[in-house]
Amino acid sequence: MTPCEAVPQHRGMVNANVEARWRALIREVPDFPLPGIRFRDITPLLHDPAALRSANDALAEAARALRPTVVAGIEARGFIFGVPVAERLGLPFVPVRKPGKLPAEVETIAYALEYGEATLQLHREPSIAGERVLIVDDLLATGGTAEAAARLVTTLGGEVAGFAFLIELEALGGRGRLGASPIVALLRF
Residue 112: predicted pLDDT = 85
Which pLDDT does position 37 carry in this prediction?
A: 87
Mean predicted confidence (pLDDT) in 120-140? 98
Expressed as residue numbers, the domain containing 27 is 16-188
pLDDT averaged over every residue in the chain: 92
Q: In this structure, are residues 73 and 98 in contact, taking their beta carbons and an 8 Å threshold?
A: no
| Catalytic member of 5, 87, 114, 170 | 114
What CATH number has the domain bearing residue 129? 3.40.50.2020
Q: What is the pLDDT of residue 1?
A: 33
Main-chain phi, psi angles of 140, to 5 degrees = -105, 115
Q: Given pLDDT bands bounded at 50, 70 and 90, which one contains residue 4?
A: very low
**Nearest CA-CA partner of 57 in 144, 164, 150:** 164
Give per-residue pLDDT as tens, 62-110.
Answer: 999 999 999 999 999 999 999 999 999 999 999 999 999 999 999 999 9
Whether the pLDDT of residue 6 is over 80: the answer is no
Is 103 among the domain residues?
A: yes
Residue 3's pLDDT band (boundaries 50, 70, 90)?
Answer: very low
37 or 81, which is more confident: 81
**Has residue 11 been placed in a domain?**
no
- Residue 61 located in a structural domain: yes
- 3 within some domain: no
Q: Annotated catalytic, 114?
A: yes
53 pLDDT tier (thresholds 50, 70, 90): very high
179: left (phi over 0), alpha (psi -120 to 50) or beta: left
Assigned domain for 128 exists: yes
Q: What is the pLDDT of residue 116?
A: 77
Which range in 5-19, 46-60, 106-120 is most confidently predicted, on average pLDDT? 46-60
The residue from 77, 88, 132, 177 that is catalytic is: 77
Q: What is the pLDDT of residue 11?
A: 45
Residue 2: inside a domain, yes or no?
no
Catalytic status, residue 117 = no
The count of domains in the chain is 1
C-alpha to C-alpha distance for 48 and 132, rounded to whole angstroms: 32
Q: Which pLDDT score is estimated for 134?
A: 98
Whether residue 127 is predicted with pLDDT greater than 60 in this model: the reply is yes
pLDDT of residue 5: 38
Please check whether residue 9 lies inside any domain of the structure: no
**Which residues have CB under 8 Å from 75's CB, separation 6+?**
95, 96, 97, 98, 101, 120
Indicate if the pLDDT at residue 111 is higher than 90.
yes
Helix, strand and coil percent figures for the chain, each rounded to 5:
35, 35, 35
Give the contacts of 67 (CB within 8 A, at least 6 positions apart): 132, 161
Is 88 inside any structural domain?
yes
